[in-house]
Structure 1
Amino acid sequence: MKNKIFTILLIIFSVMVFAQKNSVEIDGWTNVNTFKCTNDNFKMPASISATPENQMPNIHLKVEDFNCRNKMMTADFRKTLNAEKYPLFTIRFLEFKAVSNRFSAIVEVKMMNVSKKYTIEFSEYNKSLVGNKRLKFSDFNITPPKKMGGMIYVKDDVDLLFSLAIKN
């Protein structure tokens, strides 16, 4: 029965052609303001390979494609993630299953050569799967930046938000 449910979910997931607008957003806070850096310059695979190691999709995000809607903030964000040395931010789906009217995914997030696994709850909204997870810069050995001699500082917590378009 468990294998049958997994097969059905895999079929459902594999027919989700992510053709509409996809985005991954990182929201964070400083001691004086908030910031939102979005990457919507990627495509999800149109189909999922049947080989065991590739059953779930990977999202490869170029750090240079994140936009914080403020030139200086975008430059600082890319510098914080060391875009020159680590140009990719990767999200790999390890497991995806239906739980009631929601979905649960185990994902591996890789930033700056550090990988962490998280469980993320998704729900269907407006022809998209949306989900979020609170992470910490320190989970990835990243020191949040400070400006003006430390008078302005970025808090360690950030929210990772997903909006993955699905096709009916």
Structure 2
Amino acid sequence: MTKKILFISFLLATCCSFAQPAATANNKADANKAMYQSTTASFEIHGTSSIHDWVMTSESCTGLMQLLADDSSVSINEIEIQLEVTSLKSGKKVMDNKCYDALKSDAHPEIVFQLTEILEISDSSAERSSAVFRGLLKIAGVSKAVDVNVDIVRSNGTINIQGKKNLKMSDFAIEPPKALLGTLKTGNDIVIVFNLNFNEL
């Protein structure tokens, strides 16, 4: 119970730092909602292969987050993160194209995460909290429920959310890419690492 109160205090401090004028009768229904957009972001996919480890990176990840507030609490109501598959780069064009094909980028150009609930809250303070986000992750047209450990930090009006998640390509019906006439074979295991900064719209 104490941890929940601390997390509420953390989010309440965030909302108060962006306080708006009192609501009029026309906008009263929306007075307790605050929308945030990711302004800077980094997204990485780490993997292995039969020859060397590899990483693909993107700084084009976008996201929206909605906070809801009433007289006693503040909560994260919605988060949606979107990433253009072809914004991921490894520095090697052949590798990039193989991965785009494996991720079915023509038919499914985006990787999408949508928050469904927050499972755990810990180490909460007015500026920092850790949590477990549960949501739907869609890759290559396949959606799976995933739990993601995240760290949330508030600083100078910005909400930073970062974390990582271990996945298997096969969970999303992805065949690990091959190159060099099959001599280079990527492993099934990957790690997604993300770092998002949100500011109020």
Instruction: Please give the range of the TM-score, normalised by the shorter of the 2 chains.
Output: 0.7 to 0.9
2:145 to 94, 99, 117: 117
Q: Single out whichever of 99-108 and 132-141 deviates more from structure 2.
A: 99-108
Greater fraction strand:
2
CA 1:38–1:15 in structure 2 vs 1: closer, same or farther (change >3 Å)? Answer: farther
- How large is the Cα RMSD of the aligned pairs? 3.2
Matches within 5 A, 1:26-105: 26-45=45-64, 47-48=65-66, 55-96=77-118, 97-101=120-124, 102-105=130-133
Q: Residue 117 of structure 2 contacts residue 133 of structure 2 at CA under 8 Å; is this kept in 1?
A: yes
Q: Residue 28 of structure 1 contacts residue 36 of structure 1 at CA under 8 Å; is this kept in 2?
A: yes
Partners of 1:139 and 1:23 in 2: CA distance: 23
Aligned AA for 1:129?
I
TM-score after normalising by structure 1: 0.79
TM-score after normalising by structure 2: 0.67
**Residue in 1 aligned with 2:73?**
none
Once the two structures are superposed, residues 75-109 of structure 1 have per-residue CA deviations (whole angstroms, 9 ceiling, x without a partner) of 12111111111111111112235222422111221
Greater fraction helix:
1
Aligned AA for 2:42?
S
Q: Residue 169 of structure 2 contacts residue 189 of structure 2 at CA under 8 Å; is this kept in 1?
A: yes
TM-superposed CA distance for 1:125, in Å, is 6.7
SS for the counterpart of 2:174 is coil
Once the two structures are superposed, residues 40-62 of structure 1 have per-residue CA deviations (whole angstroms, 9 ceiling, x without a partner) of 213322x5175xxx931111211
Please say which structure displays the higher CA radius of gyration. 2
Q: Residue 98 of structure 2 contacts residue 178 of structure 2 at CA under 8 Å; is this kept in 1?
A: no
Give me the identity figure in percent. Answer: 24
**Residue in 2 aligned with 1:138?**
170
Aligned residues: 162
CA 1:60–1:20 in structure 2 vs 1: closer, same or farther (change >3 Å)? Answer: closer
SS for the counterpart of 1:121 is strand
Q: Residue 18 of structure 1 contacts residue 164 of structure 1 at CA under 8 Å; is this kept in 2?
A: no
2:191 to 126, 142, 159: 159
Instruction: Return 5+ residue gaps in structure 2 as ranges.
Output: 16-32, 69-75, 125-129
CA 1:15–1:38 in structure 2 vs 1: closer, same or farther (change >3 Å)? Answer: farther
Instruction: Return 5+ residue gaps in structure 1 as ranges.
Output: none
CA 1:55–1:125 in structure 2 vs 1: closer, same or farther (change >3 Å)? Answer: closer
